[in-house]
Structure 1
C-alpha cells in the first residue's frame, strides 16, 4: 500500500459547529475503508486548510474514489502521494 496525504477544506455552511463535523468522521472513515484505504492519522488544522489526513491506499484509483466519497460530506481534498524520507534514496536511484 502507498501512503497519501490529503489537505482538506470543509465547505462553509455544511457544519454549524465542531460537533457536527466530528459526527460524520465515522462515516467518512467507513467510506475510505470501502475503497480499501486505511486512515492512519487525521488532524484539524488552524489556518487556510481545515483537515490533514494521512492514509494508505492500494492505488491511485482507490484514492481518487475515496476523495470523491469525501465530497458527499462537503470535504474537498487535495491528495498527494507521500514518500517516506527513509525511501528517498530509492527514488533518487530510480531516476
Structure 2
C-alpha cells in the first residue's frame, strides 16, 4: 500500500457551520474504504489547509479516485504521495 496525504480546504460557501462539516466525515471515510483505501488518521490543522487526511491506497489510480470523491462534498483537495523517512535514506544510499 502507498501512503497519501490529502490536504483539504473547506469551501466556506458549502459549509456554514461546523456541524454540517462533521456530518460529512463519516461518509468521506466510507467512500475511501469502498474505493479500496484505508484511513490512517485525520487531523485538523492550522495553516493553508483545514484538514490533513492520511490514507493508504493500493495504487495511484485509487488515490485519484479518492481525491475526486472528496471533492464531490465541496472540499478542495491537494493530494500528495508520502514516503517514510526510512525509505528516503534507502533511496539516497543508492545514488
Structure 1 length-normalised TM = 0.91
Structure 2 gap ranges (5+):
none
55-64 or 15-24: bigger deviation: 15-24
Whether contact under 8 Å (1:35, 1:63) holds in the other structure is: no
Q: What RMSD, in angstroms, separates the aligned Cα atoms of the two structures?
A: 1.3
Structure 1 gap ranges (5+):
none
Q: Shift of the alpha carbon at 1:93?
A: 4.1
Q: Shift of the alpha carbon at 1:72?
A: 1.0
> Would you say how many aligned residue pairs link Structure 1 and Structure 2?
95
1:28 aligns to what SS in structure 2? helix
Distance 2:94 2:11 in 1: 40
Moved over 4 A (4+): none
Distance 1:71 1:65 in 2: 10
